[in-house]
Each structure stands twice: as structure tokens, then as C-alpha cells.
């Protein structure tokens, strides 16, 4: 017999016998994954899987679950990463050995994992009672399956040197004719220079899934937030704003419990953070200012088409003695808005909220202004009586009109004088018919 053939035969027999008596590696099961979030640090941990020789961690952005990436973990059983504010991902895990891979842990098991910085409580202890109503926070901070929804901020900023600005930033989510439109408005009122700057951006896309809060990016205008702490970025002309806003008082459920049906059709869910501490930077040209101030946040959703078609006057008043007033008028076709006072709220310095009813308020316009851009005429200046409180609201400047978003409207910063002093933002909608 050929010696070489004999050696090969012996080797093959030895391999056959080894394979026959080898203990096969066990079939791997999907590993159990746990996710913990501490501010911006997200940690994934898991227990060892019998027979596994390694693990792979998979992740996909919440905006595109099909864009899956993986990280080779070797034999380690935990992984920590620091994410950017508002970053949102799906996370899954797979074990493997030389015989194959386990199934994935469920990629959507934890929903959309989001990271936000830890914040210091800014609401005073006497004000920390949970508001009562049909809105559920923080769950209802997310978007809803309603025809129209918006997340809306206005505020008053100043630099250390005393230079003052107003700002508006709003995100709209509109579902119509089988399409979903996301739209953002951003505006800066430069009080020292007497100028008003705004931008409107739009995109058609379904919003990314969220597990809590919101995370919007509409062509570079961003709004991220959860549990009364929000982060805004906006750019218009030569102004760049980056703000953190944190609730200084609890949420106010407008209309008593956070919901109302309009007498003229439609309905709304509505809550506000009526006083938010603002801090951040505002870049003007080549100069960057540190700014502080107060913000106001509204979130509404529902069948808002009837009120949008009708138009309104909305007042967000922040008094220097830590009181807030919201007033909302729906316009009649002849602008006789006294007949359609929809509602309002009064919040005292101790965070006690009471509804304002039509017989408790009187709003009288003191003048008007006609836009040179659109020829629309808006009221300008108001005398407001709420109970025994008499206030005068004076716009910082007349020209604070926004156009280009389908409907023209006036959104402006104002000062408050009279029985109390303070600041206000006023919105005037549907004055162009």
C-alpha cells in the first residue's frame, strides 16, 4: 500500500472519530438586554449566554429603523456611550459562536432610547403639585394622531450688558390629504436695532417614533425636550440662537382640565409652561452674547382647523411679580372678538391657577397698524382688565409680522404697564381677509 495513502486514510479516520464523539455547541438563545439612561450616558448590559463566544450590539436611528449598524463587543457584557442631547436610537443585541448566531433581542423592545442632560429642579417646593386634568405628562409631550399639533415657544432675552431680544420658535405637525407636513417658524426681535427677522421651513415626512418628549429637526431648526426642559436652535439672517429652557413653574392645563370643545366647531388639548428660565447664547453677526430671560411654552393638538380658519388674538403675559395670564379670543368675521372669548388662565406667584371667564375680562384695542408687506391691518396696543387688575400692553415695535407659511400672522413682543409691570407676547391670526 502506498505509505502516503495510508497516512491520509488514518488522518481522515481520526477526524471522523473526533467529530463523532465531540460535544456540539448548544443552540444559542437571544440574550436578555437591559438599557439604563443617566442623563446623556446610556448603558447597555446583558447576562452571558451559555455557549456564546461573543456578542454584537446593533443600533438604528429612530428616524430610520432600517439603517442598522453594529458594534463588535467580544465577550464583554456591558457597553456605555455618551450621546448628544436628544439623540434617539433603537438598540438590540445578538450572541454568536462558531456554529452561528442567536436571534436578535427585540430591536423595538425599549422603544426609542433618548438622551437628555440631567437637570436641577427649578420649580420651588410649594409649586410641585401635579396638575390635574385629562392630559398625561410626560407622555403627552409626544406627538399625537390628530389633524393639527404645535409645540410653541416665545420669550424675552437680555445680555449681561442689557441688550434685549424677543424670540419665537414653533413646530407644526399637520396631517392632510394623506400627507404629513412638518413646519418650523423661527423669529428674532432685535429691540436695540429695531429690526425683526424670521424664517419658515417645511418638510413632508412622518415624525420619528419617540418614547418620551420630542425631538424635532426641520431643515436645521431644532427643538428637543422632555419633562419641562427644552433645547432650541434656530438661525435666521445673521442671528444664531441656542437656548436651554427649564420650567420654573408646573404645567398649566388650560381650560381647566386641558381640553375644550369650541362652540364654533373643533376641539383642542392644551397645556402650557407659562414661565421657563431661559439661558444660552445668541450670535449676532460675529459677536456672541450670553443671554438669560424668560420663556413661555404652549403645546396644543386636536381638530384645530375651525379656529385656524376663524383666527384669534392670544396674549401670554408674564408679570414681574411672578404672576402669569393667558387670554384667548376667537375672532368673529367682523373682528368683534368680545363675543367669542374662548378662555384664559390666571396663575399667582404661589402657582395657584384659576380659569378666567368671559365676564371677568375686557380687552380693548388702542390702535392699529397696516403692514407694508401684506396690507393686512392688525390691532396695536391693548387695555386689558382682568378682575380688578388693569394692564396696558404696548408692542416693542409694530413690524413683527410673519409671512410665507401659508397664512400671515403677527407675533410680537410687548411691554406691560399699569397696575403691574412685565412682558408679554401677543399673536394675531387671520387678519388678512
Nearest in space to 200 (alpha carbons), one of 424, 370, 407, 431: 407
This model's pTM is above 0.75: yes
Q: Is pLDDT above 80 for 91?
A: no
CATH no. of 125-429: 2.40.370.10
Give dist(CA 251, CA 128) in Å, integer. Answer: 10
Percent of the chain residues topping a pLDDT of 90 = 60
33-114 and 125-429, same CATH topology: no
Which H or E run contains 46?
Answer: strand 41-46
Residue found under cell 413690524: 399
Q: What is the pLDDT of residue 418?
A: 98
Q: Are 408 and 374 in contact (CB under 8 A)?
A: yes
Q: Show Cβ contacts of residue 205 under 8 Å, excluding neighbours closer than 6 positions.
A: 180, 182
Q: Are 402 and 187 in contact (CB under 8 A)?
A: yes
Domain boundaries, the chain: 33-114, 125-429
pLDDT bucket at 85, cuts 50 / 70 / 90:
low
In tens, the pLDDT along 315-355 reads 999 999 999 999 999 887 555 544 577 889 999 999 999 99
Q: What is the pLDDT of residue 96?
A: 74
Which residues are bridge partners to 413 per DSSP?
A: 425
What is the DSSP secondary structure assignment for residue 358, as one 8-state letter? G
Joined grid coordinates for residue 307: 379656529
Nearest in space to 291 (alpha carbons), one of 173, 125, 163: 163
**20 or 403, higher pLDDT:** 403
β-pair type (54-61, 113-114) = unpaired
CATH no. of 33-114: 2.60.40.10
In tens, the pLDDT along 2-14 reads 554 454 444 444 4
Give dist(CA 247, CA 230) in Å, integer. Answer: 9
Amino acid at each position: 500500500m502506498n505509505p502516503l495513502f495510508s497516512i491520509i486514510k488514518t488522518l481522515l479516520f481520526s477526524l471522523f472519530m473526533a467529530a463523532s464523539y465531540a460535544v456540539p455547541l448548544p443552540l444559542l438563545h437571544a440574550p436578555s438586554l437591559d438599557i439604563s439612561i443617566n442623563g446623556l450616558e446610556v448603558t447597555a448590559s446583558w447576562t452571558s449566554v451559555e455557549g456564546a463566544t461573543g456578542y454584537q450590539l446593533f443600533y438604528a436611528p429612530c428616524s430610520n429603523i432600517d439603517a442598522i449598524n453594529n458594534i463588535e463587543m467580544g465577550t464583554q457584557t456591558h457597553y456605555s456611550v455618551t450621546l448628544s442631547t436628544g439623540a434617539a436610537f433603537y438598540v438590540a443585541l445578538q450572541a454568536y459562536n462558531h456554529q452561528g448566531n442567536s436571534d436578535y433581542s427585540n430591536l423595538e423592545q425599549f422603544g426609542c432610547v433618548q438622551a437628555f442632560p440631567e437637570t436641577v429642579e427649578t420649580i420651588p417646593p410649594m409649586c410641585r403639585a401635579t396638575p390635574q386634568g385629562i392630559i398625561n405628562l410626560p407622555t403627552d409631550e409626544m406627538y399625537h394622531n390628530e389633524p393639527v399639533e404645535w409645540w410653541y415657544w416665545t420669550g424675552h432675552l437680555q445680555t449681561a450688558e442689557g441688550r434685549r431680544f424677543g424670540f419665537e420658535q414653533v413646530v407644526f405637525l399637520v396631517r392632510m390629504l394623506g400627507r404629513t407636513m412638518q413646519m418650523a417658524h423661527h423669529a428674532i426681535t432685535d429691540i436695540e436695532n429695531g429690526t425683526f427677522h424670521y424664517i419658515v421651513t417645511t418638510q413632508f415626512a412622518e415624525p420619528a417614533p419617540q418614547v418620551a418628549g420630542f425631538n424635532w429637526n426641520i431643515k436645521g431648526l431644532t427643538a428637543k425636550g422632555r419633562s419641562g426642559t427644552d433645547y432650541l436652535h434656530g438661525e435666521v439672517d445673521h442671528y444664531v440662537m441656542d437656548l436651554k429652557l427649564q420650567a420654573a413653574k408646573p404645567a398649566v392645563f388650560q381650560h381647566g382640565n386641558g381640553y375644550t370643545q369650541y362652540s364654533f366647531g373643533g376641539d383642542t388639548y392644551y397645556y402650557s409652561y407659562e414661565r421657563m428660565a431661559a439661558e444660552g447664547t445668541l450670535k449676532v453677526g460675529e459677536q456672541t452674547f450670553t443671554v438669560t430671560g424668560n420663556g413661555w411654552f404652549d403645546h396644543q393638538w386636536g381638530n384645530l382647523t375651525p379656529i385656524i380658519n376663524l383666527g384669534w388674538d392670544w396674549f401670554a403675559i408674564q408679570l414681574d411679580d411672578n404672576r402669569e395670564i393667558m387670554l384667548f379670543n376667537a375672532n368673529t368675521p367682523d373682528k368683534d372678538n368680545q363675543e367669542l372669548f374662548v378662555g384664559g388662565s390666571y396663575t399667582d406667584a404661589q402657582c395657584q391657577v384659576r380659569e378666567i371667564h368671559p365676564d371677568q375680562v375686557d380687552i380693548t384695542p388702542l390702535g392699529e397698524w397696516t403692514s407694508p408687506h401684506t396690507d393686512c391691518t392688525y390691532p396695536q396696543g391693548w387695555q386689558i382688565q382682568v378682575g380688578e387688575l388693569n394692564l396696558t400692553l404696548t408692542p416693542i415695535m409694530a413690524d413683527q409680522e410673519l409671512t410665507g407659511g401659508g397664512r400671515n400672522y403677527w407675533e410680537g413682543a410687548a411691554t406691560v404697564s399699569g397696575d403691574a409691570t412685565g412682558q408679554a407676547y401677543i399673536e394675531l391670526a387671520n387678519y388678512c381677509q
